[in-house]
Amino acid sequence: MRKITLVRHHPKYIQQMSELTYKTAVQYALGLPDIATGWKGTENFIHTVIEEEQQGKQISRVILNEDHVLIGVITLKDIKGDMAHVGTWLGEPYWGQGYNELAKLALFKEAFTERGFTLIFAGAKLSNIRSRKAQEKLPYMTFDVGDQYPQELAVIEKITGEACVLHAIKKENFLSYLKTQSLQ
């Protein structure tokens, strides 16, 4: 059975994180230049994440699998009060194994039950079929909310430079889903 643990970022993860992103499909999907995925770029990323978390700008966790191997990162970013955007990436060897959903369950549970969030946006480039398919598997997702939140859609489209889709995870839907899962 698949299992994940979410841990805080630490410089000890530089090598593993760099190996999962440098010259890989992950690097392409994230739109990262080579310099950002090398040792120094990854080190800078980790230090920025730690600093921004201390400032309350984001909540980011390293995803470890059942063997305590770094397999990706999940982040709540662009925090505005009780709302944020989620971003997740997994190393290519870990795609399609259920880790993405497990990481989201763990982070959303913390966000909604311990940190007071009420709404989390999940955007994806229209060209990123893999991300869109992964989002479609989440039963607690509210789809196509770009018309309701045009400013949030505009932000992610400006950042990515591409047309995007915007979905949302609402606290009440997520907690209702958790309740049904605990009854099974």
Please provide residue 40's backbone torsions phi and psi, each rounded to the nearest 5 degrees.
Answer: -65, -40
Q: What average pLDDT does the chain have?
A: 93
Are the CB atoms for 125 and 104 separated by under 8 Å? Answer: no
CATH number of the domain encompassing residue 38: 3.40.630.30
Rounded average pLDDT over 142-168: 96
Tell me the C-alpha distance between 183 and 69, whole Å. 31
Which residues, 6 or more positions from 39, have their beta carbon under 8 angstroms from its beta carbon?
14, 15, 18
Domains in the chain, number: 1
Look at 11-25, 64-78, 139-153, 164-178 and tell me which has the smallest mean pLDDT. Answer: 11-25
Rounded average pLDDT over 145-155: 97
Rounded average pLDDT over 60-73: 98
State the DSSP code for 66.
T
Which residues form the domain of 76? 5-183
Residue 10 has pLDDT above 70, yes or no: yes
Rounded average pLDDT over 153-161: 93
Are the CB atoms for 68 and 6 separated by under 8 Å? Answer: no
**Which is more confident, 174 or 30?**
174
Tell me the C-alpha distance between 32 and 169, whole Å. 26
What is the pLDDT, as a whole number, of residue 24? Answer: 78
| Tens digits of residue pLDDT in 34-54 | 888 888 999 999 999 999 999
76 to 1, 19, 22, 66, 102: CA distances (angstroms)? 26, 23, 23, 23, 15
Rounded average pLDDT over 75-98: 95
Tell me the C-alpha distance between 31 and 9, whole Å. 21
- The residue behind tokens 């040792």 is 39
What is the pLDDT, as a whole number, of residue 52? Answer: 96
